[in-house]
Amino acid sequence: MLALALRLHPRMQYPKPSPTPNPKAFPGARRVADLACGHGLLSWALLLLDDGGDGGAPRTAVAVDKRMPPSAEAIADVVLRMRPELQARWHFVESGLEAVDPAPSTLLCGVHACGGLSDAMVNLAIRGTAPLALAPCCHTHKILSDAQRARLDLTNATLADLIDDDREAALRAAGYCVKRELIPEAFTLKNRLILAAPPAVGLGLEPGKKARLAMLQPDHDEIGGARNPRVPVSDDAGARETVALLAGRAAADLRKQPTWSMDVSLWLPDGAAQCVEPAALGDIVAAVAPGVACAAGYADGAEFLHPNGRRARTFRLVYTGVSRERAKEAHAALSAAIPGAFPGSAVR
């Protein structure tokens, strides 16, 4: 971890993006996504190395793994006791790679990403035109395609060379500039490092935009749903806010609790000033059903104009951490309170 951090840190210090892709420098990337991160050591090392001496914005990091081990929490506690100012700059989100939304502004990092995880990170970088620093691991026959098996039989290439050559070829085909380096074996025998800079549309130049709050998506276990929300790693305020809400043990445990999705269809009040927003429905649930966690959003479909001239819309409420019976009670209380909260509205 430290060896990779020492390689990456100076390459992220340049104050201005390069006009052409350059895997020797990632100057526009002030945010790091440490993927399949284990304890999150790489992201911590990169934050601790950042002294602000290059005049850029403070470096931030999001660590992502399917499971947040207790040791990751212990390490975070120790670091933050020494460096409390890093509290808002580091977050650990318990999630799979499939839920990560990559972006050109954020350097994707993978240290000893075993087998197919390395391929998943290459694909993720390409999908988001994101810069990539990857230390592959576990080159095994199990991850070979039939075409790769046939080529391996016909060449003198090692298994690791064949697999990583194909990964680099995929990046180059997507317009990346790619460089392979070796970390000293004193740090690790799995010392190969693939550095890839995206096409010049890349580092830090995408327009800032407010990220959609991922936990408000209502589709339970689907990607983007209440249990497996999207994890936007872009270096913009909206994405950082969403990551902060998703991060930590309490948020991860909450997502594992039972969730119940229930719709309510409303006749809307007349007049644009009398609109009904999902957040307002969530506030009503908090008032009429204290202790019931609820996320409100729009159900599929836009506002509907009925032939009778009235406007209608369907909202979706996701109740978390309670029994189905308690969720139904909260939903019934919401339905009863809506006409009083929004004069002119009615539950269809």
Reported confidence tier of residue 215, pLDDT bands at 50, 70, 90: very low
pLDDT of 54 > 70? The answer is: no
Q: C-alpha angle 201/204/207, rounded to 5°?
A: 80
The answer to whether residues 132 and 196 touch, using CB atoms and an 8 Å cutoff, is yes
Q: How do beta strands 132-137 and 106-114 pair?
A: parallel
Nearest to 31 by CA among 11, 58, 7: 58
Number of neighbouring beta carbons within 10 Å of residue 267: 19
Global pTM reads 0.70
pLDDT at residue 292, as a whole number: 83
pLDDT at residue 73, as a whole number: 94
Comparing 20-29, 123-132, 210-219, 330-339, the range with the smallest average pLDDT is 210-219
pLDDT of 295 > 90? The answer is: no
pLDDT of 339 > 60? The answer is: yes
Positive or negative, the Cα torsion across 33, 35, 37, 41? negative
- State how far the alpha carbon of 274 is from the alpha carbons of 267, 341, 343, in Å: 12, 11, 8
Alpha-carbon distance 290 to 272, whole Å? 30
Reported confidence tier of residue 204, pLDDT bands at 50, 70, 90: very low
pLDDT of 297 > 60? The answer is: yes
Q: Is 12 helix (H, G, I), strand (E, B) or coil?
A: helix
Chain segment 251-262, per-residue pLDDT in tens? 888 778 788 899
Chain segment 314-323, per-residue pLDDT in tens? 999 998 878 8
Comparing 112-121, 127-136, 145-154, 328-337, the range with the smallest average pLDDT is 145-154
- State the average pLDDT over residues 226-246: 86
Reported confidence tier of residue 35, pLDDT bands at 50, 70, 90: very high
Long-range CB pairs of 332-338 (<8 Å, 24+ gap) are: 333/285, 333/288, 333/289, 334/264, 334/281, 334/284, 334/285, 334/288, 334/289, 335/264, 336/288, 337/284, 337/287, 337/288, 338/264, 338/266, 338/281, 338/284
